Structure 1
Amino acid sequence: MRIQDLLGIELPIIQAPMAGVQGSALAIAVSGAGALGSLPFGMLSVEAMRKEMAAIKAQTKRPFNVNFFCHTQPEPNSEHEAAWRVALSPYYEEYGIDLSTIAGGSGRLPFSAEAADVLAEFEPAVVSFHYGLPEQDLLDQVRKWGAKILSTATTVDEARWLEAHGVDAIIAQGIEAGGHRGIFLSEDLNTQVGTFALLPQIVQAVNIPVIAAGGIADANGVAAAMSLGAAGVQVGTAYMLCPEATTSAVHRVAIKSDAAIFTALTNVFSGRPARGIMNRLMKGLGPISPVAPAFPLAAAALAPLRAEAERLGTGDFSPLWAGQNVSGCKEISAADLTLELAKGANEAH
């Protein structure tokens, strides 16, 4: 089945949900152009979810996607947290931050019954998940209004698991992708491969549409993915300089700089591997730190460092999420970028 027919869209382009660098404006622009705009809800309160969906519904009648994490929330561990703060203590001292003023908390929450209830008020056409799928009763709630279910696979085994659990389409996320890895059946990063190695293997292994993601930043990349069997393409990083994105000033500067050539998978910002531009924290602690608390508990202790550094104009302690290919990042409208990307789908056919 064509992804356009499955999702009710005109163009086989999905804007990747990108927590921290977008709100409803980006999703509205992409959906308005005929593709599938997406909203990341993993870091929003129930009321914020309601507000964002209301904004979309007020400005477009076209389908849109809402995205959630579905990790298991870890129990806070005082020893791990203390070790993490010790690792960060030289930076706290440098910036004059009092450890006693640092709040705890997770920042990212898994999909819940409360979130499902809010979705039911708006009935979004597409709901996507990261880190597998939520419990069956929650999925059943989402399916009540006919929503299509997407989820991310980073290996062939994960793709087969998702198909067996009833998803409507699979997002094949190559290791080039910016932001959090969707890996969920293993913690072994050696299982992670590039998009154009992963995509044809998943296409061959499953009988549902496969959406390519990771390192695709222009029409040529879209055409290449479609020629390898992708039903559609998910693009994130390329949208981060669009005016509709809420990408911070320091993040925009980093994407436009030579620093963006060097990205790495890191767990120091959240506790789980995610790809971002190398910065001072990643270099200082090592991109993958054994001391980082479990996802998503690592983030709280970094918040004051990030805030102070950004106030001074640096992204030394910010998660500068980006994929390995920033060549397609343009300061043009999200609608225009979407139409440019879609030309690749036409070339592939």
Structure 2
Amino acid sequence: MKESRICEWLGIDSPIIQAPMAGVQDSALAIAVSKAGGLGSLPCAMLSVDDIAHQVSLIKAATAKPYNLNFFCHKTAEYDEQKHQQWRALLKHYFDEFSGQYDESVKAASRMPFSHDIADAIEAFAPPVISFHFGLPDPDLLARIKRWGTKVLSSATTLEEAIWLEENGADGVIAQGVEAGGHRGMFLSNDVSTQVGLFSLLPQIVNRVAIPVVAAGGVCDARSINGALALGAGAVQIGTSYLLCDEAKTSALHRAALKSQKAHHTALTNVFTGRPARGIANRVMKDLGYMNDNVPEFPHASMEMAQLKALAEKHGSDGFSSLWSGQNVSGCKEISAFELTKQFADVC
């Protein structure tokens, strides 16, 4: 069976991959999943080079099991001061509401693309698996990774992206259905109308590519796991279900939202970072429109929103927080990620 082959290929016991979730986890979650026989993942796009090396050291010290490092490989747009001034003017009344001011000295993006500097820091670890969002890195960087013996996965949100990934050197494709929480991995188009559900996307990709396919988006229980495997996936990638686990760093406000009725309304939005991402619908998304043309380019938009989020959260409000979540929260459990991974493995 395909899941048996991909488990052997990745060196894992069960076809369960934990989705990397920047901002709500560190190495602790990845370690728990890997120890349970799945593939634990560490999101690295918001970490410094030194932090990446430190977190990988913690993983290596805790387990000899395989793990995945996840990176973004976007092209960082030029900072546009005029657009940011217009964006800050649009947000000013919110800052006023919370008696705060925007710190205009902040000019640095919070999400950095994969680079040779990062490769220098992780080369000694020769990570077993690296996954990418937003395509693949430049050919010289990709070739460098592969010389380590590292397996390379990347997200595809359309059939065209999956074909492109296979043609450009990916070893495996993560079919990311529109149900998935967090950033869309889309990179060949900015048109959100191209995004489709997992069970429509998955068979299209399986029928056209020869490399392993992982299913992501709305997978949270026995029926969805086995449905994805029946449609040809070799493994499933699960994210939202881990957000309430003991090892997750999910904030108290985010946890409360996930356990409330609000979690049943998620939407794609670009207001937090400049790229489409799925989260629980909240005040700022509704006020500004889920997809707003005034938002600065990714990843610079997060500079204003991060400060506004911090102000609002000090007042107990989640109305300006990026409450990333997939469309299906029914798999969320307040237990160890080790135990949850074992439960997923038992139903495969």
Question: What TM-score, normalized to structure 2?
Answer: 0.97
Q: 1:304 Cα deviation (Å)? A: 2.1
- Of 26, 32, 51, 1:48 maps to 51
Alignment correspondent of 1:340: 343
Deviates more, 1:273-282 or 1:300-309: 300-309
- Give the CA deviation at 1:104: 2.4
2:21 aligned partner:
18
Secondary structure (helix, strand or coil) at the match of 1:44 reads: coil
AA partner of residue 184 (structure 1): F
Computed over aligned residues only, the root mean square deviation of the Cα atoms, in angstroms, reads 1.0
Q: 1:67 aligns with which of 70, 74, 77?
A: 70
Q: Which residue of 2 aligns with 1:106?
A: 109
Work out the CA distance in 2 between the residues paired with 1:286 and 1:14.
Answer: 33
3-state DSSP class of the match of 1:127? strand
Match of 1:329 in 2: 332
Q: Which of 228, 233, 258 is matched with 1:230 structurally?
A: 233
Q: Retained in 2: the 8 A contact 1:238–1:326?
A: yes
Cα displacement string for residues 301-320 of structure 1 (whole angstroms, at most 9, x for unaligned residues):
12222112212222111100
Amino acid at match of 2:37: G
2:69 aligned counterpart, secondary structure: strand
Deviation for aligned residue 1:344: 3.0
| AA matched with 1:322 | S
Contact 2:242 2:248 in 1 (8 A): yes
C-alpha distance in structure 2 between counterparts of 1:342 and 1:270, whole Å: 34
The match for 1:168 among 163, 166, 171 is: 171
Q: Is the 8 A contact 1:219 1:340 kept in 2?
A: no
The equivalent position to 1:266 in structure 2, one of 264, 269, 276, is: 269
Q: Which runs of 5+ in 2 are unaligned?
A: none
The secondary structure found in structure 2 opposite 1:99 is: coil
Question: Residue 235 of structure 1: CA displacement?
Answer: 0.2
Q: Which digits, 9 at most, give the CA deviation of each residue in 1:62-119, with x for residues without a partner?
A: 1000000000000001111011101101101111122355622210000000111111
Residue 92 in 1 paired to residue 99 in 2? no
* Aligned 1:304-323 pairs, distance under 5 A: 304-323=307-326
Query: Which amino acid counterpart does residue 324 of structure 1 have in structure 2?
Result: Q
1:38 aligns with 2:37: no
* Superposed displacement of residue 61, structure 1: 0.3
Of residues 89-98 and 100-109 in structure 1, the stretch that sits farther from structure 2 once superposed is: 100-109
What's the offset of the Cα at 1:23? 0.1
Partner Cα separation in structure 2 for residue 245 and residue 134 of structure 1: 28
Which of the numbers 208, 214, 219 marks the counterpart of 1:211? 214
Moved over 4 A (4+): none
1:137 and 2:124 matched: no
Could you say what secondary structure the match of 2:94 adopts?
Answer: helix
Instruction: Quote the Cα distance in structure 2 between the aligned partners of 1:100 and 1:250.
Output: 24
**Structure 1 portions without partners, runs of 5+:** none
Kept in 2: contact 1:151–1:169 (CA 8 A): yes
Q: What letter corresponds to residue 200 of structure 1 in structure 2?
A: P
Q: What amino acid is the match of 1:273?
A: P
Aligned-partner Cα distance in 2 for 1:227–1:343:
16
Counterparts in 2 of 1:177 and 1:100: CA distance versus 1, 3 Å:
closer
2:289 corresponds to: 286
Answer yes or no: is the 8 Å Cα contact 1:222–1:342 preserved in 2: no
Aligned residues of 1:97 and 1:304 also touching (Cα < 8 A): no
Aligned length: 345
Query: Is residue 121 of structure 1 aligned with residue 124 of structure 2?
Result: yes
Kept in 1: contact 2:102–2:307 (CA 8 A)? no
